[in-house]
Chain A
Amino acid sequence: MNDPVYIAVCMIIMAGTTYLLRVTPLIIFRKKIRNRFVQSFLYYVPYAVLAAMTFPAIFTATGNTAASLIGTGAALVLAFFRRSLLTVALGAAAAAFIAGLVI
Chain B
Amino acid sequence: MKHRSHFLQGIKHGTPIGLGYLSVSCAFGMSVCTSGFPVWVAGLISLTNLTSAGQFAGTSLMLQGAGYAEIALATLIINLRYFLMSLSLSQRLNPDFGTFRRLSAAHGVTDEIFAVAIGQPSLLSPAYMRGLILTPVIGWTAGTVLGGIFSQILPGIVVSAMNIALYAMFIAIIVPPAREHRPVLFVVLAATAVSLCFSYIPFFGFLSGGWSIIVIAVIVASLAAVLFPVGSGDADEHADETDADRDASGAETSCADNDMSEAGRMQEQPDTEEVRHE
Residues of A within 8 A of B (CB): 1-2, 6-7, 9-11, 13-15, 17-19, 21-27, 29-33, 36-58, 61-64, 67-68, 71-72, 74-80, 82-94, 96-97, 100
Contact = CB atoms under 8 A, between A and B. Distances in A.
30 contacts: A1-B37, A14-B75, A18-B51, A19-B107, A21-B79, A25-B90, A26-B86, A36-B233, A38-B84, A39-B84, A39-B231, A40-B225, A46-B173, A47-B191, A49-B53, A51-B189, A53-B213, A55-B192, A61-B163, A63-B163, A64-B160, A82-B179, A83-B172, A85-B24, A85-B27, A86-B26, A91-B168, A92-B171, A93-B168, A96-B164
B163 to A, nearest CB: 5
B89 interface: yes
The prevalent SS among residues of B at the interface is: helix
B193 to A, nearest CB: 9
B44 interface: yes
A94 B161 contact: yes
A28 B185 CA distance: 36
B222 A63 contact: no
Contacts of B158: 93, 97
B173 A50 contact: yes
Interface stretch (B6-14, B60-68, B240-248): B60-68
Contacts of A52: 191-192, 194-195, 212-213, 216-217, 220
Interface string B81-111: 1111111111101000001001101110100
Interface in B187-246: 187-192, 194-196, 199-200, 212-213, 216-217, 220-222, 224-226, 228-231, 233
Given A23-B106, A33-B84, A40-B231, A10 B160 contact: no
Contacts, number: 314
B138 interface: no
A13 to B, nearest CB: 5
Nearest to A47: B187
Given A39-B84, A79-B175, A100 B164 contact: no
A24 B50 CA distance: 17
B10 to A, nearest CB: 17
Given A19-B48, A52-B212, 8 more contacts: A13-B72, A25-B83, A39-B229, A56-B196, A56-B199, A67-B161, A76-B256, A94-B161
A35 B57 CA distance: 26
Contacts of B228: 40
B77 A45 contact: yes
B106 A17 contact: no
A89 B169 contact: yes
A33 B84 CA distance: 7
A22 B224 contact: no
B106 A29 contact: no
Given A10-B62, A39-B84, A56-B195, A46 B105 contact: no
B49 A18 contact: yes
Nearest to B74: A49
B51 A61 contact: no
Contacts of A88: 168-169, 171-172
Contacts of A64: 160
B259 to A, nearest CB: 11
Nearest to A63: B160
B165 A89 contact: yes
Contact of B81 (A9, A42, A84, A97): A42
A97 B75 contact: no
